[in-house]
């Protein structure tokens, strides 16, 4: 069972990439969302976000026991954080649906995930999977708010 948890927590192996695994996982999530977002209603997206977050909490704890405390290969938390970032994603204008919003969301999420403004950094102190996942969810909230404000300013510029 731990092997399956590790496989899922590492994003089916994306987390094992040697350079910037969290950034790769966030990027792959953005690409997948590019295709999913236009097809999902807001309630469906919310349900998917909750399901991915629950899965991250379930698999990151056992994966941490195998790979070490908040080990770099664990990237399911980034997937959950990107899902929060793109909740109710705005469309910035012409072009492929959500493409600009996805790129901006990706960049904002990585900024807040790496920078860890309060209380994001403190969330990592929570035990086990809660610490692994909660900081990314909070970074996703910060990124979502920044994305929504950016879209609002963009539309009124």
pTM for the predicted model, two decimal places:
0.92
pLDDT at residue 63 in the model: 95
Q: Report yes or no: 36 and 30 within 8 Å, Cβ to Cβ.
A: no
pLDDT at residue 94 in the model: 55
Query: Which parts of the chain have pLDDT scores under 70?
Result: 92-97
pLDDT at residue 100 in the model: 86
pLDDT at residue 109 in the model: 97
pLDDT at residue 96 in the model: 52
The closest of 74, 64, 71 to 2, measured between CA atoms, is 64
C-alpha span between 9 and 2 (Å, rounded): 10
C-alpha span between 43 and 10 (Å, rounded): 27
pLDDT at residue 154 in the model: 80
**What are the extents of the domains in the chain?**
2-155
């Amino acid at each position: 069972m731990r092997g399956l948890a590790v496989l899922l927590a590492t994003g089916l192996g994306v987390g094992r990439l040697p350079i910037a695994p969290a950034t790769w996982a966030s990027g792959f999530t953005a690409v997948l969302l590019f295709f999913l977002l236009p097809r999902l209603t807001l309630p469906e997206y919310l349900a998917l976000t909750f399901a991915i977050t629950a899965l991250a909490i379930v698999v990151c704890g056992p994966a941490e026991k195998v790979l070490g405390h908040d080990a770099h290969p664990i990237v399911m938390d980034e997937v959950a954080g990107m899902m929060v970032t793109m909740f109710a994603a705005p469309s910035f204008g012409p072009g492929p649906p959500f493409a600009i919003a996805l790129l901006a969301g990706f960049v904002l999420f990585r900024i807040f995930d790496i920078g860890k403004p309060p209380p994001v950094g403190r969330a990592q102190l929570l035990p086990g999977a809660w610490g692994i996942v909660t900081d990314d969810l909070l970074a996703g909230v910060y990124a979502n708010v920044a994305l929504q404000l950016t879209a609002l300013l963009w539309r009124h510029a």
